[in-house]
Amino acid sequence: MTETIQLARQLIQIESVTPDDNGCQHVIADYLRPLGFQIEPMPFGDVSNLWARRGETGPFIVFAGHTDVVPTGPADQWQYPPFSAHIDDKGQLYGRGSADMKSSIACFMVATKRFVAKHPDPKGSIGFLITSDEEGPAVDGTVKVVEALEARGEKYDYCLVGEPSSSQQLGDSIKNGRRGSLSGRLTVKGIQGHIAYPELAENPIHTLAPALKTLTETVWDTGNEYFPPTSFQVSNIHAGTGATNVIPGDCVVDFNFRFSTEQTPNSLKQAVHAILDGCEFHYDLQWNLSGLPFITPAEGKLIQAVSKAIKQKTGLQTQLSTGGGTSDGRFIAQTGAQVIELGPLNATIHKIDEHVSVDDLNQLTDIYEQTLINLLVD
């Protein structure tokens, strides 16, 4: 069993359901300290964050990830206990966080150890930014660390996030950007009344329907070379008292935009309000922006270094992608750093029986090490 697999199993066996790190970052810090890293815990609220740095010069590459995991779901439905880190006879490592993304952190650690042993005085610096608040609200994690580093003028050039980016084969895809996420909660006001006397009431579901049709049929943009078109999706609709003979007094709709760099939060808000203001009903609309879109250009040094490393270690020509949900890369990209995501297969993330290939993790360690060489040595 390689050092990568030993470390991955050690981290997976720690029950660190968001936002509880439960000691994972102590393991990471104890591993990095002998390699010459300066360790700085950066807790905010109930969230554990770790900042570690080796070196004082540029270029500066940061490995970013999270130790928190989503709940396991029904443990009795797993083939093996969800925190057992069991390896089956097919070489699959099972456990919550195996793919998303404790194994990537283990790969970061071993790749860095190997690199430092071979190149003790590289032409740059290496950092680790680890949080326990990625799977939760994400308000006291990476975003707060980034703000604190910015406030004291500590800058980095590149950031490699270990989110599971691969689709069918390790390294076949890397994320060089993500769409923004803007959510809204729309409350349409009506007048509650008896369903047999509609003339004495005002049904907010009925008055909302034409506007909702317009919102779902609107073409917000056509995307661009990096992003698909902006999408509008309704996630929840709630109205009524539960009784079948009562016209509801209001209707609440939760919706979300996943938007490209063709849009801004303000442009989307203005467009939605223009549609709603043209309707004859009273409404209240609360907005929540959870992330701005970002893109790292294909010609950037980080993408070139990572793509080259994948080719060197797997023979694959990786593809760039901006699909999927949000990640903490959205906070880091706002600093101006080049950001990409590269990790194991994403087929089982957040599922029962989450697992990842042992061979893939060993190969991913090689890719991370080669990326350091490509950026800090060659």
Q: What is the pLDDT of residues 216-265, one digit of tens each?
A: 999 999 999 999 999 999 999 999 999 999 999 999 999 999 999 999 99
Q: Determine whether the annotation assigns residue 282 to a binding site.
A: no
Residues of the chain with pLDDT under 70: none
The per-residue pLDDT for 325 is 80
Residues 127, 307 contacting (CB under 8 angstroms): no
Q: Determine whether the annotation assigns residue 273 to a binding site.
A: no
The per-residue pLDDT for 324 is 83
Residues 163, 327 contacting (CB under 8 angstroms): yes
Q: Active-site positions?
A: 68, 134
Q: Name the nearest CA neighbour of 75 among 91, 95, 100.
A: 95
The amino acid sitting at 149 is L
Q: Name the nearest CA neighbour of 247 among 189, 193, 187, 190.
A: 193
N-to-C CA span, the chain: 30
The per-residue pLDDT for 28 is 98
Q: Name the nearest CA neighbour of 367 among 114, 167, 58.
A: 114
User: What's the distance, CA 1 to chain centroid?
Assistant: 29
List, in sequence order, every residue forming a beta bridge with 194; answer none if it has no partner.
246
The per-residue pLDDT for 221 is 97
Pull the structure tokens for residue 103. 């194994």
One of 3.30.70.360, 3.30.465.10, 3.40.47.10, 3.40.190.10 is the CATH number of 180-291, namely 3.30.70.360
Q: Determine whether the annotation assigns residue 30 to a binding site.
A: no
The per-residue pLDDT for 280 is 87
Per-domain residue ranges of the chain: 3-178+293-376, 180-291
Matching fold, domains 3-178+293-376 and 180-291: no
One of 3.20.20.80, 3.40.630.10, 3.40.640.10, 3.40.920.10 is the CATH number of 3-178+293-376, namely 3.40.630.10
Q: Cα separation of 170 and 149, whole Å?
A: 32
Q: Determine whether the annotation assigns residue 66 to a binding site.
A: yes
